[in-house]
Amino acid sequence: MTVAQQPEALSFECETGNYHTFCPISCVAWLYQKIEDSFFLVIGTKTCGYFLQNAMGVMIFAEPRYAMAELEEGDISAQLSDYEELKRLCLQIKRDRNPSVIVWIGTCTTEIIKTDLEGLAPKLESEIGIPIVVARANGLDYAFTQGEDTVLAAMANRCPDKAPVAETEKSERNAIAKLLNFGKKKEDVAQDESEYVDHPPLVLFGSLPDPVVTQLTLELKKQGIKVSGWLPAKRFTELPVLEEGYYVAGVNPFLSRTATTLMRRRKCKLIGAPFPIGPDGTRAWIEKICSVFGITPKGLDEREAQIWAGLEDYVKLIRGKSVFFMGDNLLEVSQARFLIRCGMTVHEIGIPYMDKRYQAAELALLEKTCQEMNSPLPRIVEKPDNYNQLQRIYELKPDLVITGMAHANPLEARGINTKWSVEFTFAQIHGFTNARDMLELVTRPLRRNNNLKDLGWDKLVREEAKI
């Protein structure tokens, strides 16, 4: 009689590398589009301005609602009045744009010279009559996606703590209800409301494009779960109500600071679920929310099977292949778990920062997925040293490396397929229906190489490499 061998546990390592990611002030790029009545004022140096111009150069034809408050030598040496200068800029913003909220984005410089943004904001807010939210989304953080985390944590403190009494206020605030009920008769709306199960209020947090917000809201509606609001909302004036005891659930792995703020400051109850990335993650996310509310999920087996069937043309391209994550946007664990479910082997998950409490459910699902797929558990390396990683990549020879933009071209020059991790940040990858978009990105370099082989270009490249 043989004793069954216990499955090995996930191993965590920590190296001493730098954080090779964008600066978190880049969160302005997607947040100003999400919060339609906002204006973002980045308080930093010319370097911050150059970075934003480059990072957001793709939006040159749009009219972005952000600006730079550039700190000069006089500001840094405390010879000028920060208050008067910020007041001048905010009055100009009010005159030109009249937003519902101005978000001050602190930078490394404001941290180093200890600018008291939190002290200046309330005084100026009362003077100009526009809410000012202070978010220190600076480069001292671990990853660029944590800029959103900082902004949402600051906004969580501005959410109302009492539900509006008047019906007019209630209808104005619940933008999601208006969106879902658009074009419906009153009788149909009443019928829809009766489909919901009686459960405590649920607020979801994480900035997602409106179509994805609608998809996830409808997926929960199918289980009888009503979403009371999203943080952030499309408009600052429609921020969700957060009373003590409300339930909250996150949709992104990099929102640990927001989760902590919601639990400690707003006394909400966090639902620790895997994240809705990939059909497997979306199903686990819905199941966890259902279990908390005592609801038996229905139709998820068929729903997930249907999505996987539609992905087969992409999955067959990567099944049996290997992938290496260098670490960039904090989505790595969720992406790795999904790709392992697709049949890939993940050699290593590099990640700039790991909050094991907030990602506990995702890590458990990763371990379970590896066991079910009979795949080796990947090593998880926090704060990876890129030199050491490159040595491991040369040794392991993965079929694909998902990396930050800085390392993509050097790796491609050495014949290693790469994909920019930043593309997954801006793409729609959440929910059942968007899994296809994620696989479209993952398989693009592999499909490109297959096409080059068909054309005979790979032989030409090898000949040039010899020369």
* Contact present, 280 and 235 (Cβ < 8 Å): no
Class of residue 363 by CB neighbours under 10 A (exposed 0-12, middle 13-18, buried 19+): middle
Q: Is 23 annotated as belonging to a binding site?
A: yes
* Contact present, 43 and 117 (Cβ < 8 Å): yes
* Contact present, 117 and 54 (Cβ < 8 Å): no
The C-alpha angle 239, 243, 247, rounded to 5 degrees, equals 90
Residue 466 tokens read as 């010899």
Strand residues in 55-140 grouped as ranges (E):
66-70, 101-106, 132-135
The residues, any chain, with a CB within 8 Å of residue 19's CB and separated by 6 or more, are: 142, 143, 352, 383
Q: Is 159 annotated as belonging to a binding site?
A: no
Q: Which of 247, 272, 258, 131 is nearest to 207 (CA)?
A: 258
Class of residue 12 by CB neighbours under 10 A (exposed 0-12, middle 13-18, buried 19+): middle
The residues, any chain, with a CB within 8 Å of residue 199's CB and separated by 6 or more, are: 224, 225, 226, 293, 294, 295
Q: Is 27 annotated as belonging to a binding site?
A: no
Q: Are strands 247-250 and 269-270 parallel, antiparallel or unpaired?
A: parallel
Binding site for [4Fe-4S] cluster: which residues? 23, 48, 108
Binding site: which residues? 23, 48, 108
